[in-house]
Structures are given as C-alpha cells and as structure tokens.
C-alpha cells in the first residue's frame, strides 16, 4: 500500500517484504480481489496498525480517469452489518486511502465491499457501481496482534546493535563479525540503549522521526533509524538486532513498532 506510510509489511511474504507507505497507520496483508472498472482500481486492501489508534482495514484506490472522481465505499461484515461507509475524492490519476477502524476483524471471511463512483461531490447519479471483497487470514491477524503487543510500553530488547550513522561501509560489509550490542528499552519517557561501555538516551519529546532504512539486499541490511534533536543538533540512532543472536532480523518489525509507539506516531 503505497500511501506515504512509514512501513508496509505484506505478511504473506513475511517480515522482510517492505515498501514505502500515511495518515499514521501501518498496513499489513494481501491485496484485494480485482475490481473491474474503467475509472478506478484498488491497489491494496490491507490490515493496518497505529500505536495510538489500533487496528483498521485500509483500502487504497487509484484513479484511471483524467477527471476528478468521488468514490463511496461501503464495507459489510457478518450478517451484512455495515462496518464502514466512507467517501473519498480522487484527483486525476491520483490515489487515496480509506481507513476503516475496526475493534475486531474476522479471519478468513470475505468482507463485501460496495463501490459507487460519482463525477462530482454532490454524489447524485453514480457513473459506475460495482462490488468486490477483501479477506484477511488468521496468520496475518496473529502476526498483527504480535506487532500490536509491541506497542505496549515499556518493551525491552536484548542484543541490539547501535550505530551513530549507517553508510557505505555498512552497505558493503554489513555485520561481518559479532558486533558489540546492548539492551534497548522503549518506554513512554523515551528510548535508552545501554551497553557495558556506553549509554545513549533519547527523550520522547526530542524524537523527530522513526523510520526503516535498507542499505542493501541482505536481511542484515535493514535498520530502525531514529532521528532526534539534541541541543539544537540533529542526530541519528540506528538500531538493529544482533544477527548472530536470538531472533535476529525477525525482531526488526517489533522494535520498529515499539519505537513508533514511543514517538507517538
């Protein structure tokens, strides 16, 4: 789901399937069934997670039209109960994401989606109507719940590597030997990385962004990057689970979710 989100993880491909993704939500899961239309297409239907807002269904639309469009979506759950009904404007060839917060999502159930496309904001006289559906699998929901749990603070991660920056050398050589590591603590007050020789603390109020940065194609080339301000100076904290210990790169999504929660994203 390419909508300005910080992270997209397609769970059916595992943790490592990443793409750029906005609105304070992260998206997870398979795409939607194809919707036959001359005017729009669905580019994704996914489970979404926000540390502060919880879980939602996300539906991304892309316009095929040279003219602006207005699209109304109605999503139904079991017994045809409406779980979400929203309208979004689509600029010429533009994209938009409809977010439907959900307290509970039923696994392996086809959520019917009614689509009505209008030529103007009056929503009078649909130019096109149709139906599609989206399904979310039990495994996806279980993994999403694991990520959601990681947003409950405090959280502690052992054997985490810290760098002040990542660049060409990291991209070329990665972690070619067991690096020094420390304990990472994510709490409401901020982030702390502590080793035997060094302690780095970043108060939550000083965090400017938490992102993922890939410097190569290996599993050890993905880092959680915290951008923060210290005394008016921009600084960076790059973090990665030690690939030679424990779950290694599999902990990256959990660390990312925890630090996003600290930053209040």
Per-residue pLDDT of 203-222, as tens digits, reads: 999 999 998 888 877 667 88
d(CA 265, CA 263): 6
The answer, yes or no, to whether residue 160 has pLDDT greater than 90, is yes
Domains and CATH numbers, the chain: 8-148 (2.60.40.2550), 151-263 (2.30.29.30)
Average the pLDDT over 196-207 and give the result: 95
Contact 131, 117 (CB under 8 A): no
pTM of the entire predicted model? 0.70
Sign of the dihedral through C-alpha 159, 264, 153, 28: negative
Contacts of 79 (CB under 8 A, 6+ apart): none
Least-confidence region, from 40-54, 94-108, 141-155, 166-180: 166-180
Query: How far is the CA of 150 from the CAs of 135, 143, 254, in angstroms?
Result: 24, 11, 6
pLDDT in tens, 61-105: 999 999 999 999 999 998 999 999 999 999 999 999 888 888 888
């Amino acid at each position: 789901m390419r909508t300005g989100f910080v992270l997209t993880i397609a769970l059916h491909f595992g943790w490592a399937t990443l793409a750029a993704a906005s609105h304070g939500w992260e998206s997870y899961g398979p795409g939607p069934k194809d919707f036959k239309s001359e005017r729009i297409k669905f580019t994704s239907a996914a489970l979404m997670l926000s540390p502060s807002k919880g879980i939602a269904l996300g539906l991304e639309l892309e316009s095929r039209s040279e003219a602006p469009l207005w699209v109304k979506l109605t999503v139904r759950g079991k017994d045809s109960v409406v779980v979400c009904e929203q309208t979004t404007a689509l600029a010429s060839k533009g994209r938009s994401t409809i977010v439907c917060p959900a307290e509970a999502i039923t696994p392996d159930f086809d959520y019917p989606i009614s689509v009505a496309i209008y030529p103007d904001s009056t929503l009078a006289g649909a130019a096109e109507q149709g139906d599609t559906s989206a399904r979310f699998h039990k495994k996806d929901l279980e993994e999403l719940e694991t990520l959601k749990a990681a947003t409950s603070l405090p959280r502690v991660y052992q054997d985490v590597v810290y760098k002040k920056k990542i660049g060409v050398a990291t991209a070329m050589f990665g972690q070619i030997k067991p690096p020094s590591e420390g304990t990472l603590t994510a709490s409401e007050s901020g982030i702390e990385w502590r080793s035997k020789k060094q302690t780095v603390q970043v108060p939550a109020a000083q965090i400017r962004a938490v992102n993922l940065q890939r410097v190569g194609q290996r599993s050890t080339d993905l880092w959680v990057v915290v951008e923060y301000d210290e005394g008016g100076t921009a600084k960076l904290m790059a973090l990665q689970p030690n690939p030679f210990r424990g779950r290694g790169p599999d902990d990256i999504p959990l660390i990312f979710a925890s630090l996003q929660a600290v930053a209040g994203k």
